[in-house]
Amino acid sequence: MKPPVHGTPRLMRAINDRAALRILLEKGPLTRPELSRLTGLSKPTAFQLLARLQEAGLVVNDGVRTGQAGRTAEVYRVNGAAAYVAALDVTPGRIGVRVADITGAVVGEADYPAPFPEPSPASSPAPFPASSPVQLSEGGGLVERLRAAVEAARPPGPLRRVVIGVQGAVDPTTGRLDHAAAEDMPGWQIPDLVPTLTAGLGVTVDVENDVNLAALAEQAHGAAAGCPDFVLLWAGEGLGAALVIGGRLHRGFFGGAGEVGYMPIPGAATARDGGRFGHHGYQALAGGPALQDLLRSYGVRGADFRESVATAARLAQGTGRAAQEAAAGLRTVASRVALGLATIAAVVDPGLVVLAGGLMSAGGEPLRDLVERELRVLDVDRPQVRLSAVDSNPVLVGGLDLALARVRDEVFGHARDGAPAEAGR
């Protein structure tokens, strides 16, 4: 049995400092009396606390507030420049970038295209150390592309952490990116992927599955808020899922939990027929291109699967032969999507299914309703089915949330020793 941990003055100061910083993030800017009331600390203790946090560069004065009888009080807020983080959404055609300060305020964005252009000279402070040890033999080209994409977002200061959302997932047993073909993620098939990127960029890097990041965004800001057990299905060109169990993201032993695109499904070819990354499984049945072909057989055409699904949903609301065909096609789309979801739900038993991705946004409420109806028929349990409720890119939203949570734990810990924050004030 471990002995109890006694509350030393240093430990209590650290606890109070972190609590105050969290309150300032959620409620601030605040005056000293307001912070005293919200933390339960005495006014002298709150005064000493703010002095420590100002010395550490974590809190700054935000002016004065006029109260009753003309009295004024100084107002304090978290220093956004104490740290900066970035989230990246990497796809075969582009890299989306979003930069935020430690308060969560977005301070830079970019959409970097492929083929990747030559980076232009940055006019803002360099986000990475100039002396980063890039190994050109392994990962050098990838590092330079990522560096150029982040610099295009013009971060106002050095980055403390970068979270990168990718197709596939890093296998923690090998350190390599798995569940992604080389043609989809060129340059990413290197040993020790995360340590290589961390060393090359000179900043701590996390590589996370993009659908997992979308699930974190829905959990914090969207349709899954308050639900501890849910599945997010991302349906677009391909299919992927994220599993949140007991309020925590479940990645699996090999990091590939939720990689359902190649899940064996009745009526579709298997890996035995087409190879590991061949055209088979759930993706061959309900991926975007397959559903575009399906709708074409019902007389519904579009430039891509999104347009085809949106057209089917629109036509199905009308009357006549074309409307009947479109409605039948949309029902078949829903039945294919629900078939895989029923398999997932039978194993995970979620209370909620969140439908996200280009396919679902194109189909909207009509497609959501049809998927839910079909799932009721196929599945014994009855999870709710909702559309994604995150307005902007959920991969970037979830990536920033993850980066901020980890950096706040690191940076706010400096308040214990009075160490100054690394970034500028």
Can you give the pLDDT at residue 257? Answer: 95
Can you give the pLDDT at residue 69? Answer: 59
Read off the DSSP letter of residue 268: S
What is the rounded distance in angstroms from the CA atom of residue 329 to the CA atom of residue 294? 7
SS3 of residue 281 by DSSP: helix
Q: Looking at beta carbons, which pairs linking 368-377 to residues 24 or more positions away fall under 8 Å?
A: 370/330, 370/331, 370/333, 370/334, 371/334, 371/337, 371/338, 371/341, 373/334, 374/331, 374/334, 374/335, 374/337, 374/338, 375/338, 375/341, 375/342, 375/345
Can you give the pLDDT at residue 424? Answer: 35
pTM metric for this prediction: 0.88
Chunked mean pLDDT (size 10), the chain, 425 residues: 64 86 91 91 90 92 76 89 97 94 97 65 59 50 93 96 96 93 86 95 97 98 97 96 97 94 84 71 93 97 97 96 97 97 94 97 97 90 93 96 95 57 39
Q: CB neighbours of 81 closer than 8 A, spacing ≥ 6? A: 101, 156, 157, 421, 423, 424, 425
